Amino acid sequence: MNFKPTLRGALLAGVSIAVMAGPATAQDLVQGGNLRVGISQMAPSPDPVVTTFGVNWMTASVVCEALFGTDEAWTPQPVLADAFAYSEDGKTLTVTLREGLKFHSGAALTSADVVASLERFKESAGIGAAFKNAVVSIAAADDKTVVFELNNPSPILPGLLSGAQAVIMSAASLEGASPTEATKGLDCTGPYTLTSYQPDQGATLTRWADYQSRSEPSSAFSGAKHAYADVINLRLMPEASVRRDSLITGEIDIAMEMPSDFYDALQNDANTEAVVVPNNQSLAVVFNTKDGVAADVNLRRAIYYALEMDSVMLASVGNPEFYTLDPSWIPDPNSFWYTTAGVPEGFGTPNPDKVKEYLAASNYKGEPIRWLVASEQYQKHFLTAITASQQLEEYGINVEIVESPMANYIQARADAAQMDAFSSFLPTYVDPTSIAFLNPSYPGFWTDPEKMELMDKLATTIDPAERKALFEQVHTLAYDQFPWIKYGTEANMYGIRKGVGNPARVPSRGYDLYNVAPPAAN
Amino acid sequence: MLRYLFKRFLLILPTIFVPLILVFLLLRLSPGDPAGMMLGDQATPEQIAALRTQLGLDQPIWMQFVLWLKGIVTLDLGNSIFFREPVMQIIPRYATVTILLTSVALVLAVVIGVTLGLVSAMNRNKPIDRGVVTTAVLGISLPEFWFALLLIFVFAVTLRWFPVAGYNSPDAGIIAFGATIFLPALALGVRQSALMTRMMRSSMLDVLNEPYITTARAQGLPETTVLGRYAMRTAAMPVVTVAGLSAGYMLGGAVAIEIIFALPGLGRMLVEAVGRRDYPLVEGGVLTISLVLAVLNLLIDLVYALLDPRIRYQ
Given phi > 0 = left and psi -120 to 50 = alpha, else beta, which region is B220? Answer: left
Does A245 reach chain B within 8 Å, measured CB to CB? Answer: yes
CA distance B57 to chain A (A): 13
Q: Which of A388, A192, A186 is nearest to A285 (CA)?
A: A388
Give tens-digit pLDDT for A327-341. Answer: 999 999 999 999 999
- Could you tell me the CATH number of the domain that includes residue B256? 1.10.3720.10
B230 DSSP 8-state letter: I
**Chain-centre distance for alpha carbon B12:** 18
pLDDT at residue A301 in the model: 98
Nearest to A44 among B82, B259, B260 (CB): B82
List CB contacts (< 8 A) between B43 and chain A.
Answer: 52, 125-126, 410
A224 DSSP 8-state letter: -
Is there a domain that residue B255 lies in? yes
Alpha-carbon torsion A491, A492, A493, A497, what sign?
Answer: negative
Between CA A128 and CA A126 the distance in angstroms is 5
CA distance A363 to chain B (A): 29
Residue of A246, A248, A286 to mutate when probing chain B, most B C-beta within 10 A: A246
3-state DSSP call for residue A273?
strand
On whether the CB atoms of residues A14 and A69 are closer than 8 A, the answer is no
Is there a domain that residue B172 lies in? yes
Residue of B26, B42, B270, B276 to mutate when probing chain A, most A C-beta within 10 A: B42
Strands A231-236 and A135-142 turn out to be: unpaired
Question: Chain A residue with minimal CA distance to B33?
Answer: A407
Chain A 471-490, residues with CB within 8 Å of chain B CB atoms: none
On whether the CB atoms of residues A367 and A295 are closer than 8 A, the answer is no
Phi, psi of A74 (to 5 degrees): 65, 25
CA distance B15 to chain A (A): 29
Does B271 reach chain A within 8 Å, measured CB to CB? Answer: no
A203 DSSP 8-state letter: E
Is there a domain that residue B67 lies in? no
Alpha-carbon torsion A38, A43, A48, A53, what sign?
Answer: negative
Chain B 127-156, residues with CB within 8 Å of chain A CB atoms: 149, 152-153, 156
Is there a domain that residue B24 lies in? no
Contact A44 B83 (CB under 8 A): yes
Contact A52 B39 (CB under 8 A): yes
Is there a domain that residue B5 lies in? no
Does A265 reach chain B within 8 Å, measured CB to CB? Answer: no
Question: Chain A residue with minimal CA distance to B31?
Answer: A408
Domains and CATH numbers, chain A: 4-16+23-271+498-521 (3.40.190.10), 279-491 (3.10.105.10)
Contact A199 B83 (CB under 8 A): yes
Going from the C-alpha of A455 to that of each of A471, A480, B41, B224, B230, the distances in angstroms are 8, 16, 22, 88, 87
List CB contacts (< 8 A) between A235 and chain B.
Answer: 166, 262
Does B264 reach chain A within 8 Å, measured CB to CB? Answer: yes
Is there a domain that residue B254 lies in? yes
Between CA A250 and CA A257 the distance in angstroms is 17
Chain A 309-348, residues with CB within 8 Å of chain B CB atoms: none
Going from the C-alpha of A111 to that of each of A142, A220, B82, the distances in angstroms are 7, 25, 30
Question: Which residues form the domain of B121?
Answer: 95-307
Chain B 243-262, residues with CB within 8 Å of chain A CB atoms: 259-262
Q: Which of A277, A322, A328, A329 is nearest to A495 (CA)?
A: A277
pLDDT at residue B18 in the model: 86
Chain A 399-428, residues with CB within 8 Å of chain B CB atoms: 404-408, 410-412, 414-415, 424
Is there a domain that residue B285 lies in? yes
Strands A421-427 and A369-374 turn out to be: parallel
Query: Which are the contacts of B234, defined by CB distance < 8 A and separation ≥ 6?
Result: B203, B207, B210
The residue ranges of chain B whose pLDDT is under 50 are none
Query: Which are the contacts of A463, defined by CB distance < 8 A and separation ≥ 6?
Result: A6, A10
Report the domain count for chain B: 1
Is there a domain that residue B74 lies in? no
Query: ipTM of this predicted complex?
Result: 0.76
pLDDT at residue A27 in the model: 56
pLDDT at residue A18 in the model: 36
Contact B31 A201 (CB under 8 A): no
CA distance A435 to chain B (A): 9
A24 DSSP 8-state letter: T
CA distance A498 to chain B (A): 17
Q: How many CB pairs (< 8 A) connect A and B?
A: 136
Q: Which residues pair with A29 in a beta bridge?
A: none
CA distance B40 to chain A (A): 5
The residue ranges of chain A whose pLDDT is under 70 are 1-27, 521-522
